[in-house]
């Protein structure tokens, strides 16, 4: 089963998990990380790292963030590059989480990401999809060639 780390501004992440638990019961391998104004980037990164390790059983973790490019998204992006089978999704909301919850048990992290973004919901994207739009810089010649 894929782990979920839901991270949003203010207390939205915890509110979404609480609402999901009310409807679906206990949510194994799910953690909320709330990002409040004034929280340092270092503390946010530590909280996200703890949540990653608490939710990962080896099958992968999906970071679900509210806003693309914001501090929680950036912290998730940095962590995802250090761990296999991690994906970062932005633009999430409660209805989307409820719809995608059952797929945690059957899809790989990449399949989950593609299925979620494939719904073509305005504002929903993934780090991977954004990177495909902006491929890494490649030198066309060797600058320091002898």
DSSP string, 22-88: HHH---TTEEEEEE-TT--HHHHHHHHHHHHHHH-SSS-EEEEESSTTSHHHHHHHHHHTTSTTEEE
* Active-site annotation holds for 81: no
Which residue in the list 9, 53, 83, 129 is annotated as catalytic?
Answer: 9
| CA atoms of 97 and 115, how far apart (whole Å) | 13
Which residues are known catalytic residues? 9
């Amino acid at each position: 089963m894929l782990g979920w780390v839901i991270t949003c501004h203010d207390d939205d992440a915890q509110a979404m998990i609480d609402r999901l638990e009310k409807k679906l019961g206990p949510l194994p391998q799910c953690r909320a990380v709330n990002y409040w104004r004034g929280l340092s980037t270092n503390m946010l990164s530590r909280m996200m790292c703890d949540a990653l390790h608490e939710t990962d059983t080896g099958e992968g973790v999906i970071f679900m963030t509210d806003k693309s490019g914001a501090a929680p998204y950036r912290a998730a992006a940095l962590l995802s590059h250090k761990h296999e089978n991690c994906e970062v999704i932005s633009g999430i909301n409660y209805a989307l989480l409820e719809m995608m919850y059952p797929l945690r048990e059957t899809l790989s992290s990449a399949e989950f990401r593609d299925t979620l973004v494939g719904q073509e919901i305005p504002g929903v994207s993934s780090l991977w999809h954004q990177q495909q739009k902006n491929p890494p810089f490649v030198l066309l010649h060797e600058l320091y060639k002898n």
